[in-house]
Amino acid sequence: MVNSLQATTTLHNGIEMPWFGLGVFKVEEGPELVNAVKVAIKHGYRSIDTAAIYANEEGVGQGIREGLEVAGIAREDLFVTSKVWNSELGFESTLAAYETSLKKLGLDYLDLYLIHWPVEGKYKEAWRAMETLYKEGKVKAIGVSNFQIHHLKDLLNEAEVKPMVNQVECHPRLTQRELLAFCRQEGIQLEAWSPLMQGELLDNKDLQEIASKYGKSVAQVILRWDLQNGIVTIPKSTKEHRIVENSSVFDFELTEEDMARMNEMNENHRVGPDPDNFDF
């Protein structure tokens, strides 16, 4: 059982990745962002997830530096993720994008670097660059984001290094059961972005009913469901009380019945783009 905010899953290459982290999608550069990252680290978060396209890596880096100081911990105690954007998906351009992200973050290395979207005809070259970064010891782990089973199979046909992580949209309306099973079978850790469906699930009657049974919020019940499904989760918030509340999910466990009930809420409904049909 995942029983603390510092609990980790071991990726297939032996690297420890926290089960729980802070996402900063759509959080703009500025004091609010810096403070959110700092506050999360202060309250025990050990994983921060950003991306080049979020255009906020500099603020995230500042928040990390301030957070490490406040928490009195070392850089090595933190797990930092960023992602290469679609326009940079070539061999040389991916290598350059990695260096740009590092520079903006003010870090010497990343713990995890992901291909953000499976752009057809481009992700294999980018993956070769990811493997190069990994083999040179510049990044601790590499992975993908928004890859469906067929994208993964296509990549695995040629990859020398298997992706360690696949970060996808996942929540009770999009449970990703087949993808989760495939990733498990391949030793790829599934990670959920938009675990709270960008807030759309918070007034769901069924989830409210389950939450009241445990004396928890709907958000807490969904995040607990992620963990019990073996899915790494990175809820986004900029408010201190919410950052703390989101992470208060280690003192209860959902019953098998409630897990099944939540798994059955699936409607294959996305709030984000469809990985098989996007044009950016």
Amino acid at the residue 29: E
Residue 179 makes CB contacts below 8 A (sequence gap 6+) with 148, 149, 166, 168, 190
Compute the distance between CA of residue 246 and CA of residue 55 in angstroms, rounded to an integer. 24
Based on the residue annotation, tell me whether 54 is a catalytic residue of this protein.
Answer: yes
Close Cβ partners of 272 (under 8 Å, ≥ 6 residues apart): 169, 193, 194
Q: 65: how many CB neighbours lie within 10 A of its CB?
A: 18
d(C-alpha 217, C-alpha 126), whole Å = 40
15: nearest Cα among 185, 142, 130, 127: 142
Q: At what angle do helices 57-71 and 31-42 cross, to 10 degrees?
A: 40
Q: Which two tokens stand for residue 135?
A: 């083999």
CB atoms within 10 A of CB 280: 9
Q: Which among 54, 98, 113, 123 is annotated as catalytic?
A: 54
Catalytic residues: 54
